[in-house]
């Protein structure tokens, strides 16, 4: 299916033949642009940015590169091609034909998930609103803007579903997606992590590593949905999401690389000495990892969740790679064992019905995926002959959602007294002094090819261009 760029809203859903939907979306479009101008990277509205735009939804047609001013980016509605004869892949309706419409009895559950997914997209653009002013290089500035425009498109993806399949409620929800704002006291974004400020690039790279990876797992679960338009929408979004995680993984890897170079230059791994050279000591990086990983773990919801059980049973939300990774797609009788707090400062094992534990199944897969980057960075550290190892904290550490909410544990997940937790927390997550130091590093570098002192250059540029290409002009 080709994307029609001759229309006001580029799409591959034949919008031209659905005048009512087209009018509704054309009514929403100026509101989106107002929001982008107010809450997006608005100080860079006149910059020329080297961006990729989707021109087709298959692997080859994906990326077209060109120089664009961000407000002129062609946000649109792109669904992956349908799979002929697709059937429901899990839950109580397993094996029946996939749905082209939302069944009435599941309408509010679908709407809630689509709204929650949609809410994260503009939230992240709002969180990253001012980062352009402190970019460590033009290459990174361009990557930030690529991420921003694609999150804007992901918002379009969810708004399309709301408009096309949820009538008036859907249109109202689409308006609300532009009315809530990250960190707003009265109208915050729905999920906790999306209200956390991202004020520096270390946080940005952690966010794209950890939080966008939650996006990968949630989108993969929704890509299994029996509601085919949602599944197809998410399948295409996943191709964009991959770049966001690449930005996080390579960004953090480049920070580690630079720190190791500095350690070698000065012949020391003393954090104070490393900071005197304007680099990020690995202990500081560890505290950032602890913060963003623990916050992102909350995005999977409670360990035991009746919401998760019913979205699975009803065929609304499956598990990532449901078809290829699992034998039992119904999970009506199976169970699993979880380690839970015993209410007396210890642990107990609890047997939970599999459907109720679906959030934990996703969290398990997510944690494994997060470990891959850590292994790679630790290899770099080991090769440089340094003893330190970066680690993911325990899944029980600093949780604000689920069974471990407000249960004080150390980073290994051992329950500890509240006083000890309060005393140690500033050593486990970035302290005010850490944040001030990181802030002092955030000086804008915009000479083509030049990098800030705390990050190594990337191994290659974008789309085979050299690293010193002028990826953003007139910033
Ligand atoms: N913060 O049974 P529970 C992405 C709420 S990221 C605040 O525990 P459930 C992206 C929950 O909403 C992917 N509230 O959990 C990344 C519920 O509230 P209501 C985003 C939370 O429902 C970077 C209550 O607690 N996509 O794409 O099984 C940049 C009890 O819920 C939190 C999705 O999340 C939290 N962390 O699962 C840009 C997919 N966690 O309804 C984009 C859609 C839970 O009782 N969402 N609550 O008022 C879902 O699948 C589910 O809603 C959740 C929660 C997995 C989030």
Total Cβ atoms within 10 A of residue 385: 10
Quick one: which atom of ligand 1 is closest to the CA of 123? 38
Quick one: which atom of ligand 1 is closest to the CA of 299? 36
| % residues pLDDT > 70 (the chain) | 99
Q: Is the CB of 148 under 6 A from ligand 1?
A: no
- With vertex at residue 136, the alpha carbon angle to CA 132 and CA 141, rounded to the nearest 5 degrees, is 40
CA-nearest residue, atom 34 of ligand 1: 117
CA-nearest residue, atom 33 of ligand 1: 117
Q: Is the CB of 360 under 6 A from ligand 1?
A: no
CA-nearest residue, atom 6 of ligand 1: 215
**pLDDT surpassing 80 at residue 373:** yes
pLDDT band of residue 318 (cuts 50, 70, 90) is: very high
- Alpha-helical segments (H) within 184-227: 201-206, 212-222
Tell me what pLDDT residue 57 has. Answer: 79
CA-nearest residue, atom 49 of ligand 1: 113
CA-nearest residue, atom 5 of ligand 1: 301
- Best residue among 299, 301, 360 to mutate for probing ligand 1's pocket (most ligand atoms within 8 Å of CB) is 301
| Tokens (6 digits) for 402 | 């689920």
**pLDDT surpassing 70 at residue 141:** yes
Mean pLDDT value of segment 146-163: 97
Report the mean per-residue pLDDT for the chain.
96
**Which helix (H) or strand (E) is 294 found in, with range?**
helix 282-297
**Ligand 1 centroid – CA 337 distance (Å):** 23
Q: Is the CB of 120 under 6 A from ligand 1?
A: yes
Q: Is the CB of 208 under 6 A from ligand 1?
A: no
**Ligand 1 centroid – CA 299 distance (Å):** 5
**pLDDT surpassing 90 at residue 64:** no
**pLDDT surpassing 90 at residue 62:** no
**pLDDT surpassing 90 at residue 174:** yes
Quick one: which atom of ligand 1 is closest to the CA of 300? 55
Tell me what pLDDT residue 55 has. Answer: 77
Quick one: which atom of ligand 1 is closest to the CA of 302? 8
Q: Is the CB of 307 under 6 A from ligand 1?
A: yes
CA-nearest residue, atom 22 of ligand 1: 307
Total Cβ atoms within 10 A of residue 348: 11
Q: Is the CB of 173 under 6 A from ligand 1?
A: no
**Which helix (H) or strand (E) is 473 found in, with range?**
strand 472-473
Q: Which of 32-41, 132-141, 339-348 has the lowest mean pLDDT?
A: 339-348
**pLDDT surpassing 80 at residue 60:** no
CA-nearest residue, atom 46 of ligand 1: 113
**Ligand 1 centroid – CA 301 distance (Å):** 6
Identify whether the C-beta of residue 79 lies closer than 8 Å to the C-beta of residue 229.
yes
Mean pLDDT value of segment 8-27: 93
CA dihedral 462, 151, 289, 384 (to 10 degrees): -10
**Ligand 1 centroid – CA 317 distance (Å):** 12
**Ligand 1 centroid – CA 109 distance (Å):** 12
**pLDDT surpassing 70 at residue 459:** yes
Q: Is the CB of 211 under 6 A from ligand 1?
A: yes
CA-nearest residue, atom 31 of ligand 1: 301
Phi, psi at 372, each rounded to 5°: -60, -45
Q: Is the CB of 215 under 6 A from ligand 1?
A: yes
pTM for the model: 0.97
Query: What would the pLDDT profile of 256-278 be if each residue is shown by its tens digit?
Result: 999 999 999 999 999 999 999 99
* Concatenated DSSP letters of 58-75: STTT-EEEEEEEGGG---
**pLDDT surpassing 90 at residue 291:** yes
Higher pLDDT, 141 or 63: 141
pLDDT band of residue 56 (cuts 50, 70, 90) is: confident
pLDDT band of residue 58 (cuts 50, 70, 90) is: confident
Total Cβ atoms within 10 A of residue 248: 22
Tell me what pLDDT residue 188 has. Answer: 98
- Best residue among 307, 370, 395 to mutate for probing ligand 1's pocket (most ligand atoms within 8 Å of CB) is 307
- With vertex at residue 28, the alpha carbon angle to CA 218 and CA 229, rounded to the nearest 5 degrees, is 40
Q: Is the CB of 151 under 6 A from ligand 1?
A: yes
**pLDDT surpassing 70 at residue 63:** yes
**Alpha carbon distance 188, 234 (integer Å):** 24
Q: Is the CB of 126 under 6 A from ligand 1?
A: no
**Alpha carbon distance 119, 302 (integer Å):** 19
Quick one: which atom of ligand 1 is closest to the CA of 208? 23
**Ligand 1 centroid – CA 74 distance (Å):** 29
CA-nearest residue, atom 7 of ligand 1: 191
pLDDT band of residue 59 (cuts 50, 70, 90) is: low
| % residues pLDDT > 90 (the chain) | 93
Phi, psi at 336, each rounded to 5°: -145, 165
Tell me what pLDDT residue 12 has. Answer: 92
Quick one: which atom of ligand 1 is closest to the CA of 117? 26
Query: What would the pLDDT profile of 198-257 be if each residue is shown by its tens digit?
Result: 999 999 999 999 999 999 999 999 999 999 999 999 999 998 899 999 999 999 999 999
């Amino acid at each position: 299916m080709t994307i029609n760029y001759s229309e006001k809203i580029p799409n591959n859903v034949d919008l031209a033949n659905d005048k009512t939907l087209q009018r509704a979306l054309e009514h929403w479009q100026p509101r989106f642009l107002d929001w982008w101008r107010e809450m997006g990277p608005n100080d860079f509205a006149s910059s020329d940015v080297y961006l990729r735009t989707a021109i087709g939804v298959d692997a080859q047609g994906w990326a077209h590169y060109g120089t664009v001013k961000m407000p002129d980016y062609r946000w649109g509605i792109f669904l992956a091609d349908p799979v002929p004869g697709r059937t429901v892949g899990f839950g109580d309706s397993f094996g029946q034909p996939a749905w082209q419409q939302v069944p009435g009895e599941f309408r509010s559950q679908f709407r809630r998930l689509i709204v929650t997914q949609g809410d994260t997209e503009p939230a992240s653009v709002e969180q990253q609103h001012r980062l352009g002013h402190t970019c460590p290089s033009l290459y990174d500035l361009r990557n930030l803007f690529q991420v921003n425009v694609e999150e804007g498109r992901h918002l379009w993806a969810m708004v399309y579903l709301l408009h096309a399949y949820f009538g008036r409620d859907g249109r109202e929800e689409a308006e609300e997606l532009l009315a809530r704002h990250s960190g707003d006291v009265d109208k915050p974004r729905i999920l906790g992590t999306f209200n956390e400020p991202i004020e520096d690039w270390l946080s940005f790279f952690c966010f794209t590593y950890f939080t966008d990876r939650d996006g990968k797992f949630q989108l993969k679960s929704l890509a299994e949905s029996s509601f085919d338009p949602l599944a197809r929408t998410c399948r295409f979004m996943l191709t964009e999401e991959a770049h966001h995680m690449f930005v996080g993984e390579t960004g953090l890897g480049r920070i580690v690389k630079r720190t190791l170079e500095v350690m070698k230059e000065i012949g020391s791994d003393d954090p104070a000495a490393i900071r005197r050279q304007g680099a990020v000591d690995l202990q500081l990086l560890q505290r950032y990892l602890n913060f963003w990983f623990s916050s992102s773990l909350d995005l999977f919801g409670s360990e035991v969740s009746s919401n998760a059980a019913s979205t699975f049973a009803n065929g609304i939300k499956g598990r990532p790679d449901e078809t290829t990774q699992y034998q039992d797609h119904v999970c009506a009788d199976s169970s699993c064992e979880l380690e839970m707090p015993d209410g007396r400062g210890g642990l107990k094992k609890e047997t939970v019905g599999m459907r109720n534990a679906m959030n934990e199944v996703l969290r398990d897969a997510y944690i494994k995926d997060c470990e891959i980057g850590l292994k790679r960075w630790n290899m770099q550290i080991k090769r440089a002959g340094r003893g330190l190892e970066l680690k993911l904290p325990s899944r029980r550490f600093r949780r604000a959602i689920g069974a471990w909410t407000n249960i004080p544990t150390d980073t290994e997940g051992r329950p500890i007294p509240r006083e000890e937790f309060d005393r140690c927390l500033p050593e486990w997550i970035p302290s005010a002094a850490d944040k001030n130091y990181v802030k002092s590093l955030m000086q804008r570098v915009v000479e083509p090819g030049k990098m800030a002192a705390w990050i190594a250059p990337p191994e290659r540029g974008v789309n085979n261009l050299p690293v010193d290409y002028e990826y953003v002009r007139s910033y």
